[in-house]
Amino acid sequence: MSSKPIAVVTGGAGFIGSHMVDLLLDRGFRVRVIDNLACGRQSNLDHHSGDPDLEFLRKDINELEPGEAVFGDARHVFHFAGIGEIVPSIERPTSYMETNIGGTVRVLECARHAGVEKLVYAASSSCYGLASTPTDEGHPIAPQYPYALSKYQGEQAVHHWGKIYRLGVNSIRIFNAYGPRVRTTGTYGAVFGVFLKQKLEGRPLTVVGDGTQRRDFVYVTDVCEAFFRAAQSSRSGEIWNLGSGNPQPINRLVELLGGEVVHVPERPGEPRETFADIRKIRRELDWEPRVPFEDGVARMLAGIERWRDAPLWDPDSIAIATRTWFEFLGARS
């Protein structure tokens, strides 16, 4: 029997989750991945094929029950599993509430019954809505769409379990994570997946509005380092914002990628700027973003072939995909 500590990663075949697996294996952990492969790809873990310290369980978190063997003797749980993206959450909010809240409660119950030392929850900065910037952890909560609401209520459940059941918990509100393996699903969403496919095909990059809006991009390995420190920390019941603290204009990303541009309408409910105040996580976890934006983009360009099978978007298909967005979020403007 291995004496290595055990960590469970829900959503461990997904974008951030698979990088978390990389870090944990590198730090000497045995890792158990739970993923239903609805959003993730098992191929994200292929480079660990045959590693005796990695176990994979294909299962939906909505099906988890206390006493699941996969949680047995686990020291840490990193909870990334859930449903992302804005438009689908407007179209089918029940699924988001069931998975991002109910599924999270099931993970909490499994962790509680297994006696887990620390659970770290992947929260979302979308809980702040149209926030003033830089945004600190005490900023008012104002979710603009069901995805944001479901992630915030999942976070509330995490801290409730921490208080009532004395489960060690922390949550990290991620701003704009990017890096290799970022989602390439058929749903219109993350800017990197959209732009990289367009660049591969020699098509114009679809810039929302005038491109001067800024996003607090943080590279995925920096994200995982923060989660690891949150698990290892003696602190519990904490909430930390996680970004680079150095937001970048979308036009800067366009400049780094290169290529022609076509503009599409600005969308209601989207902030002009996301900007994480990261003083708290710097102070309490001694964490710093290590990967400059230019280096991160260069790394993604080096692996651009990975986006060969991603969906290709143009202004017409984007207009169709975001019709629901304008219909419901625009009605309040």
Of 210, 38, 241, the residue nearest 141 (C-alpha)? 241
The encoded tokens of residue 193 equal 């997946």
Instruction: Tell me which of 96, 121, 128, 147 is the catalytic residue.
Output: 147
Per-residue pLDDT band at 187 (split at 50, 70, 90):
low
pLDDT tens for 71-81 read 999 999 999 99
Per cent of the chain over pLDDT 90 is: 85
Average pLDDT over residues 132-159: 97
Residues 6+ apart with CB under 8 A from 171: 120, 121, 122, 123, 155, 158, 159, 238, 239, 240
Per-residue pLDDT band at 88 (split at 50, 70, 90):
confident
Q: Which domains does the chain have, with CATH numbers?
A: 6-177+219-242 (3.40.50.720), 179-215+246-273+292-332 (3.90.25.10)
Per-residue pLDDT band at 188 (split at 50, 70, 90):
low
- pLDDT surpasses 60 at 1: no
Sign of CA dihedral 40, 45, 46, 47: positive
- On whether the CB atoms of residues 73 and 115 are closer than 8 A, the answer is no
- pLDDT surpasses 90 at 178: yes
Average pLDDT over residues 4-29: 97
What is the average pLDDT value for the chain, to the nearest integer? 94
Per-residue pLDDT band at 184 (split at 50, 70, 90):
low
pLDDT tens for 241-288 read 999 999 999 999 999 999 999 999 998 878 899 999 999 999 999 999
> pTM to 2 decimals?
0.95
- pLDDT surpasses 50 at 333: no
- Cα–Cα distance measured from residue 163 to residue 266, given in angstroms and rounded to the nearest whole number: 41
Residue 182's pLDDT is 86
Burial category of 113 from C-beta neighbours within 10 Å (exposed 0-12, middle 13-18, buried 19 and up): middle
**Residue of higher predicted confidence among 324 and 281:** 281
Please name the residue that has the structure tokens 């292929």. Answer: 46
Check if 152 is active-site. Answer: no
pLDDT tens for 212-222 read 999 999 999 99
